[in-house]
Amino acid sequence: MSELVYTLIRKKSRKRVAIAVLPCGSVQVLAPIRASVSRIKGFLRDKSDWIRKQQLVCHAREQAPILTGNSGDMLLYFGREITLQVLPGVKRSVGLVGSELVVGMREPDPEKVKKMVLKWYRELAQEIIEDRVLIWSAHLSKKPKQVRLKTMTSRWGSCSILGNLNFNWKLIMAPLDVLDYVVVHELSHLVHHDHSRKFWDFVALLMPDFKRHVVWLRENGYRLAL
């Protein structure tokens, strides 16, 4: 770790050394004013594996595929990769055929194809997520008042005080068991409105292996994008 390049920021109010890996992959070290260089370097050595892992994640995010609306685009569907296939000269349509999402259009236009793909994902997400909420809510004594899908930038779901559930439609790209975890998480807020020990115990009661889904989202959430 002696060759690691990092930015050091010292603050009077800070009592401990902390590390942040920024979205670009650069490393930032926050340290108390009097923290010695040897202490900081020792901390970096101890966290070397974690730093490398975070930098790999940052690199992967930069390489994440972007929907262009052209044949060959790689998309995620319930956690597995599918390929966009645009067929010209046919009636407008969208459908999954094997491992391909086939979009038909008489005169293909990438922007129009993108809108069709997004519409297909959103409609599918609405249907599937409402169905999963219905299935899992059977385990509770309470049911949500409303289920809505939204475009969220930093959350996968939310539960309002009124009992309305909101979900990120991009969850349709995650494995079904991961999607189910988010559903269970938000449904559990109908019983426990915070993230207390009782809340997590309740989540574990419904889904004993929920922690592995939390890890999947943490490590792969950036891939759920179009």
pLDDT along the chain (226 residues), means of 10: 75 88 80 90 87 74 74 94 95 95 95 96 96 94 91 89 94 97 97 94 96 92 86
**Whole-angstrom distance, CA of residue 183 vs CA of residue 212:** 15
**Whole-angstrom distance, CA of residue 191 vs CA of residue 200:** 11
**pTM here?**
0.74
pLDDT for position 203? 96
Q: Which residue has 């999607």 as its token pair?
A: 179
Output Rg (C-alpha) for the chain, integer angstroms.
Answer: 22
CATH 3.30.2010.10 in the chain is located at 74-223
Written as one letter, the residue type at 181 is Y
HSE-CB at 197 with a 13 A cutoff on CA atoms is 0
pLDDT for position 189? 96
pLDDT for position 60? 61
How many residues are recorded in the chain?
Answer: 226
Fold classified for 74-223: Zincin-like (3.30.2010)
SS3 content of the chain, % helix, strand, coil (to 5): 40, 25, 35
pLDDT for position 81? 93
pLDDT for position 2? 45
